[in-house]
């Protein structure tokens, strides 16, 4: 069923203190036009810079998700993002008068409650979904993290954690409907940490706004009365602090029997909002945290960008090639006899490309290089490599049809083996650096998995005046 985008009906605010800074802060949610997305705005500094809530603006994930543009930063945005995304709000401006939103009670519930008060307004443009049509996996074996994303007609989450601490142990949760379950079953799940982490975090000048009413502290070591007294002083806590039998500091009751794993799912929802559009997929995660979530978002975004490129240029369906000759002709300006790429097997924007050149005896250069001993000229191997790299470079641009790639330098060229008629050249070109339309690429050419040529290529992307 087609759904339209939505925003909130009216402006509404929420005040409190920041978790890590301990500063008084206020966040104000404002309606936004169609196709705006989720924007954060630092209204406490000159020019009130706007920071899009997307993966390209994430700069730190050590103890939460921090986004920035230039020198302007906003820390710990994941609970706000979870509330906005969980309530299926597409367009909103989040104005913050500091570098961190209020921590509230350590969950997304305070934000959910005021956003519900603001109400929702349906907009005219249809909602764009990022639809996953192939399995995507992320693994971090040293940390025991596994995430698998499956195609699904709805957004679903399955999450599992297992801790050696008996107060937590192994926990599992599933969410099958964002619309029906998020606000009631996940939004109120509070952040948690281990007692052994608390002192280290505070001494590292973090969690300065942390308190017993905005986090669940899991007991993972014994503490003497003197140590508990020092803990109270460290955090400025007036009330008594005790080690309770339920494994949670001060015997705090959980809101859900598996509240910690639900909070992990909440963080995942917030981090997935960094995709910039709602997701249709089933995400199964084991022991994941912010760092892994952000890496997963990058993987999904790469697959999405690949799909956009293929759908834009590739006409014929069902072909094994990522881009066939018809698609290549739309991207590169080269034509016979100087077009030296036959297929693109894979392309990850701003990372790497794999292309194929089938070397035929009918190539016109074999008539003179050399008569009776046909060998592909090394300069043309480099040219073919450069053309494959050009396809990668042009797809870093918004409108590749209006651009040209001029190569400005070639270094460290090595020819390892001759290339003759009947060979299939496979080029693997990776982007080493890209800044202000100037780039450096590392290229390698193979025949039957044997390296035949390698080079470093420098190039500039310029306007194609004819196309413009």
> Which residues are catalytically annotated?
290, 369
Q: What share of the chain is helix, strand, coil (3-state, %, to 5)?
A: 25, 35, 40
Rg (CA), the chain: 27
Structure tokens at 276: 């910039």
Neighbours of 424 (CB within 10 A): 14
Cα within 13 Å of Cα(118), Cβ side: 25
The 8-class DSSP code of residue 253 comes to P
CA 36 centroid distance within chain: 18
Let me know: does 162 contact 66? Beta carbons within 8 Å.
Answer: no
Q: In terms of DSSP H, where are the helices of 75-207?
A: 78-86, 109-118, 178-181, 195-203
Neighbours of 124 (CB within 10 A): 7
Beta strands in 38-91 (DSSP E): 38-42, 50-52, 58-60, 66-69, 72-74
The string over 349-363, giving b where at least 16 C-beta atoms fall within 10 Å of a residue's C-beta and e elsewhere, is beebbbbbbebeeeb
Neighbours of 254 (CB within 10 A): 16
Let me know: does 277 contact 130? Beta carbons within 8 Å.
Answer: yes
Q: What distance in Å separates the CA atoms of residue 90 and residue 36, rounded to the nearest whole number?
A: 8
Partners of residue 175 on adjacent β-strands: 157
Q: What distance in Å separates the CA atoms of residue 40 and residue 2, rounded to the nearest whole number?
A: 28
Q: What distance in Å separates the CA atoms of residue 269 and residue 85, rounded to the nearest whole number?
A: 7
Three-class SS state of 53? coil
Q: How many residues does the chain have?
A: 468
Structure tokens at 273: 């909002």
The 8-class DSSP code of residue 176 comes to S
Partners of residue 305 on adjacent β-strands: none
From the list 85, 180, 77, the residue with the least C-alpha distance to 130 is 85
């Amino acid at each position: 069923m087609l759904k339209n985008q939505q925003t909130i009906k009216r402006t509404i605010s929420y005040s409190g203190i920041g978790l890590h800074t301990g500063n008084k802060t206020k966040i104000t949610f404002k309606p936004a036009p169609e196709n705006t997305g989720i924007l954060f705005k630092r209204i406490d500094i000159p020019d009130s810079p706007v920071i899009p809530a997307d993966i390209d603006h994430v700069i730190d994930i050590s103890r939460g998700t921090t986004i920035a543009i230039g020198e302007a930063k906003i820390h710990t945005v994941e609970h706000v993002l979870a509330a906005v995304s969980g309530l299926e709000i597409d367009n909103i401006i989040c104005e913050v008068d500091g570098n961190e939103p209020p921590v509230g009670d350590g969950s997304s519930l305070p934000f959910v409650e005021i956003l519900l008060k603001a109400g929702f307004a349906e907009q005219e443009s249809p909602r764009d979904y990022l639809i996953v049509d192939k399995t995507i996996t992320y693994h971090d074996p040293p940390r025991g993290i596994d995430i698998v994303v499956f195609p699904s007609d709805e957004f679903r989450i399955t999450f599992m954690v297992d801790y050696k601490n008996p107060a937590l142990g192994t926990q599992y949760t599933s969410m099958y409907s964002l619309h029906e379950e998020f606000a009631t079953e996940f939004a109120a799940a509070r952040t948690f940490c281990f007692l052994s982490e608390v002192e280290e975090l505070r001494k590292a000048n973090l969690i300065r706004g942390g308190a017993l009413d905005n986090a669940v502290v899991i007991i993972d070591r014994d503490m003497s009365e003197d140590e508990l007294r020092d803990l109270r002083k460290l955090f400025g806590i007036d009330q008594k602090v005790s080690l309770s039998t339920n494994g949670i500091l001060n015997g705090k009751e959980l809101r859900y029997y598996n509240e910690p794993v639900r909070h992990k799912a909440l963080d995942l929802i917030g981090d997935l909002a960094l995709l910039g559009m709602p997701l249709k997929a089933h995400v199964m995660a084991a022991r994941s945290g912010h760092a892994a979530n952000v890496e997963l978002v990058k993987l999904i975004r790469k697959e999405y960008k690949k799909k956009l490129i293929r759908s834009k240029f590739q006409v014929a369906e069902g072909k094994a090639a990522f881009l066939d000759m018809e698609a290549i002709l739309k991207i590169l300006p080269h034509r016979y006899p100087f077009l030296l790429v036959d297929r693109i097997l894979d392309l990850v924007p701003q990372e790497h490309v794999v292309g194929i050149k089938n070397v035929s005896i009918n190539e016109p250069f074999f008539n003179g290089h050399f008569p009776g001993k046909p060998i592909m000229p090394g300069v043309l191997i480099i040219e073919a490599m450069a053309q494959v790299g050009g396809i990668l470079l042009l797809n870093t641009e918004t409108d590749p049809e209006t651009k040209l790639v001029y190569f400005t330098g070639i270094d460290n060229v090595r020819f390892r083996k001759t290339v003759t008629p009947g060979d299939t050249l496979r080029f693997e070109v990776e982007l080493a650096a890209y800044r202000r339309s100037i780039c450096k690429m590392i290229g390698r050419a193979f025949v039957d998995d044997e390296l035949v040529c390698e080079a470093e290529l420098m190039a500039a992307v310029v306007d194609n005046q004819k196309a413009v």
